[in-house]
Structure 1
Amino acid sequence: MKLLTICLLLVLVGWVYVRFAPADNAKFHVDATLAKSPRNGGFRTSFDTLLSSDKILIEIDKIAKITLKTTHLVGSFETGRITYVSRSAVIGFPDYITVQAAATETGSTVTILSRLRFGANDLGVNKARVQTWIKRLQGLGLIKE
């Protein structure tokens, strides 16, 4: 019984740490184009749009705000880079999604870098989330084909 209690306490302490550990903005709010390739469970992609950098970030922000358990962490439209945190449903594992837009002659190029903080693999959750956001942007006609 004592061993079971200790195991349950360790699980509880681990959950509290994962759920409430503060985010290091300097570690996760990075240049999405220059950051090293994400490890297993991470995903990076880029696309072109006819919208200006700030306008496409506003559209992506609207999508992020309706994504379950996803909140703005740091960044702004004006700086051209925003990082969000999205948490898993049960344990609350954090994933960090950095969206960056750079002006081009015909609009802007957007790079999205999504990665996990804890664990070794997220079973494709980051990639699926980013692809869902991109499909919504495509549905609005905001991505160049």
Structure 2
Amino acid sequence: MMRRLLLLLVVAALGGAAWVRLAPLEGPAWHVDPDQVQPPDRPNHALLRSGSVVYPIPPETLAAAVDDIAMADPRTRLLAGSVAEGHMTYVARSRIWGFPDLVTVRVVPHPDGATLAVFSRARFGRSDMGVNQARLDGWLRQLPEPL
């Protein structure tokens, strides 16, 4: 009896791990405008509205810099959008279980250069233990000095 219970638990854990890695992530559902989203009522996201930080560089340069930072992470891939559009959505997965976080970035022209709107959120769960805010802060630290 104990052996069957253990086997059932192992199968359930493997099934859960497979679901986390294989659950559908369709671009249009996640590729949103960060300036237009309503923040979820769960503490598993980070949100930066455009105009909060302004960079003294052209929008296309800022979009390319963000993409370089995102793609430097080996567990991050582009899901939707493009650098040319200045609107990109990335999937960033956790190291061990592969939990997906979705990070949408929109670069907005500004009279002094360009600004960012970013919405980083967990696909599963209620809490992300601060991962999305830490990711956003880390990406911002790697960008050129803002005004």
TM-score of the aligned structures, taking structure 1 as reference length: 0.91
Aligned residue pair count: 141
Q: How far did residue 67 of structure 1 move?
A: 2.2
Matched, 1:81 2:87: yes
* Residue in structure 2 matched with residue 13 of structure 1 by the alignment: 15
Contact 2:34 2:48 in 1 (8 A): no
Aligned to 2:117, which of 100, 105, 111? Answer: 111
Q: Matched residues, percent identical?
A: 33
* Residue in structure 2 matched with residue 97 of structure 1 by the alignment: 103
Gaps of 5+ in 1: none
Q: What's the secondary structure of 1:114's corresponding residue?
A: strand
Mapped to 2, the partners of 1:72 and 1:63 lie a distance apart of 12
Give the partner amino acid of 1:3.
L
Contact 2:69 2:139 in 1 (8 A): yes
Q: How far did residue 73 of structure 1 move?
A: 1.2
Contact 2:107 2:114 in 1 (8 A): yes
Contact 2:67 2:83 in 1 (8 A): no
Matched, 1:32 2:38: no
Mapped to 2, the partners of 1:37 and 1:2 lie a distance apart of 43
Mapped to 1, the partners of 2:65 and 2:96 lie a distance apart of 28
Give the partner amino acid of 2:43.
N
Give the partner amino acid of 1:105.
P
Give the partner amino acid of 1:83.
T
Q: What's the secondary structure of 1:129's corresponding residue?
A: helix
Which runs of 4 or more aligned residues in structure 1 lie more than 2 Å from their structure 2 counterparts after TM superposition? none
Give the partner amino acid of 1:42.
H
Mapped to 2, the partners of 1:34 and 1:80 lie a distance apart of 16
* Residue in structure 2 matched with residue 43 of structure 1 by the alignment: 46
**Could you list the per-position Cα deviations for residues 84-118 of structure 1 after superposition, in whole angstroms to 9, with x for gaps in the alignment?**
11000111000000010111222122111100000
Mapped to 2, the partners of 1:98 and 1:51 lie a distance apart of 20
Give the partner amino acid of 1:73.
L
TM-score of the aligned structures, taking structure 2 as reference length: 0.90
